[in-house]
């Protein structure tokens, strides 16, 4: 993510800021321009206000309703309101269809963290010009998020099915997440990582299923028509193959071609976002043993080979800095040539012109949830 600055005083802003800490100006993020704006003084939280942006006519905007709950700092054009019911949520929050009971403080804290990470996800998707539309606009191919908690009657499985991404809010609990990370051997398990993984399943439906890219996908990732239920059972009964690291980015990716794709997709988004951050900071790094430098300020993200060269150097520095602090490696992966080819496939697919969406329901959306789930368990087609 790039560095933002206050338009009133040029002080650095973080992506979650609602106030500039230097000049105290109220600020808000406008996804239409992927930048922050200064909100006029004295505007009530639920009131519309006018802005005149460079190169654009004067327009009225409104804060997201969740601003009042300290849960969102996005704004949206009032002109988006096309129904008799005025729109009150921003482009991010309107994608969420279910939230947990916010009277529970733990659920509220989890909801805040997940929504914050979802906005970071959407920032990257917008930067990559990937299609993002809600179910209201595109009932068949649109996207929605459900953030749910376990109850005595049902257990919630994090997963994706037909554009519906479900996240168990327990994933925002550090102790819960760390326990599963150790138990499942997952070197990188975060809320943002989950969102990037599940959105990968969504884009498999949008960009691969029924599209010309399907043949190339099967050549690299395998045949997705194999039983997903059987693959899950085999994975949890037998574990990954002993040599899995030669061809997969993670042990979980070995379970099924869909999971290999989603894990690799999430990894690609990790790369894009981290390298943009390095570029925005003008990071210059020495390549150990080569006497050369990687200057990320001029990085061309369209060139996959340049991306991977920069990525190796940046992640080496990240891990070295973490070790200096007595922390675990920030990047506990070693992408092999086979994994690099999968990442290249995703890179080229994202960068090419978008094919028309298939009218046939994606096969993955028709997949059954795993049969081993408990009675009352809410599950998505893919994990």
pTM of the model: 0.89
- Centre a 10 Å sphere on the Cβ of residue 269 and count the other Cβ atoms it contains: 24
Contact (CB, 8 A) for 221 and 215: no
Contact (CB, 8 A) for 315 and 334: no
> Which residues face 329 on adjacent strands?
none
**Region of 199 on the Ramachandran plot (φ > 0 left; ψ -120 to 50 alpha; else beta):** alpha
- Measure the CA dihedral 308/314/315/319, to 10°: 170
Residue 143 CA to residue 343 CA, distance in Å, equals 24
Contact (CB, 8 A) for 260 and 222: yes
Helix-helix angle 257-280:213-221, to 10 degrees: 100
Q: What is the pLDDT of residue 374?
A: 33
Q: What is the pLDDT of residue 362?
A: 45
**51 three-class SS:** strand
Q: What is the pLDDT of residue 171?
A: 85
pLDDT tens, residue order, the chain (383 aa): 889 999 999 999 999 999 999 999 999 999 999 999 999 999 998 899 999 888 787 899 999 999 988 999 999 999 755 656 788 999 999 999 999 999 999 999 999 999 999 999 999 999 999 999 999 899 999 999 999 998 878 899 899 999 999 999 988 876 665 655 555 555 567 899 999 999 999 999 999 999 999 999 999 999 999 999 999 999 889 989 999 999 999 999 999 999 999 999 999 999 999 999 999 988 888 777 666 777 777 788 889 999 998 999 999 999 999 999 999 888 888 899 999 999 999 999 999 876 555 444 444 443 333 222 333 344 445 56
Tokens of 325: 């602090």
Q: What is the pLDDT of residue 367?
A: 34
Q: What is the pLDDT of residue 268?
A: 97
Contact (CB, 8 A) for 278 and 310: yes
Q: What is the pLDDT of residue 299?
A: 81
Contact (CB, 8 A) for 170 and 150: yes
- Please, how many CA atoms are within 13 Å of residue 72, restricted to the half-sphere of its CB? 26
Query: Comparing C-alpha atoms, which of 358, 71, 104, 99 is closest to residue 211?
Result: 358
């Amino acid at each position: 993510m790039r560095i933002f600055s206050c338009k009133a005083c040029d002080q650095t802003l973080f992506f979650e800021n609602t106030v500039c800490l230097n000049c105290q100006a109220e600020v808000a993020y406008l996804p239409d321009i992927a930048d922050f704006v200064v909100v006029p003084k004295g505007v009530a939280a639920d009131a519309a206000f006018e802005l005149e942006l460079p190169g654009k006519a004067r327009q009225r905007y409104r804060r997201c309703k969740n601003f009042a709950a300290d849960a969102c700092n996005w704004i949206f054009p009032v002109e988006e309101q096309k129904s008799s019911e005025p729109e009150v949520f921003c482009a991010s929050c309107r994608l969420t269809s279910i939230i947990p009971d916010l009277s529970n403080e733990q659920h509220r804290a989890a909801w805040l963290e997940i929504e914050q990470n979802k906005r970071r996800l959407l920032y990257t998707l917008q930067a990559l010009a990937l299609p993002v539309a809600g179910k209201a606009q595109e009932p068949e191919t649109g996207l929605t998020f459900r953030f749910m908690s376990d109850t005595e009657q049902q257990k919630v499985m994090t997963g994706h099915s037909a554009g519906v991404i479900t996240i168990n809010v327990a994933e925002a609990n550090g102790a819960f997440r760390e326990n599963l990370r150790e138990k499942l051997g997952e070197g990188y398990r975060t809320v943002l990582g989950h969102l990037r993984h599940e959105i990968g399943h969504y884009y498999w439906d949008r960009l691969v299923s029924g599209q010309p890219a399907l043949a190339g996908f099967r050549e690299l990732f395998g045949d997705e028509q194999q039983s997903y239920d059987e693959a899950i059972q085999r994975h949890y009964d037998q574990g990954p193959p002993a040599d899995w690291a030669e061809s997969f980015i993670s042990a979980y990716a070995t379970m099924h071609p869909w999971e290999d794709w989603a894990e690799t997709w999430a990894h690609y988004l990790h790369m894009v976002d981290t390298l943009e951050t390095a570029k925005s900071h003008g990071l210059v790094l020495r390549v150990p043993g080569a006497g050369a430098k990687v200057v990320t300020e001029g990085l061309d993200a369209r060139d996959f080979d340049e991306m991977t060269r920069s990525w190796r150097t940046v992640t080496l520095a990240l891990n070295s800095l973490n070790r200096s602090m007595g922390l675990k490696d920030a990047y506990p992966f070693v992408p092999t040539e086979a994994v690099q080819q999968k990442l290249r496939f995703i890179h080229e697919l994202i960068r090419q012109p978008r094919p028309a969406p298939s009218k046939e329901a994606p096969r993955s959306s028709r997949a059954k949830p795993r049969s081993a789930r408990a009675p009352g368990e809410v599950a998505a087609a893919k994990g």
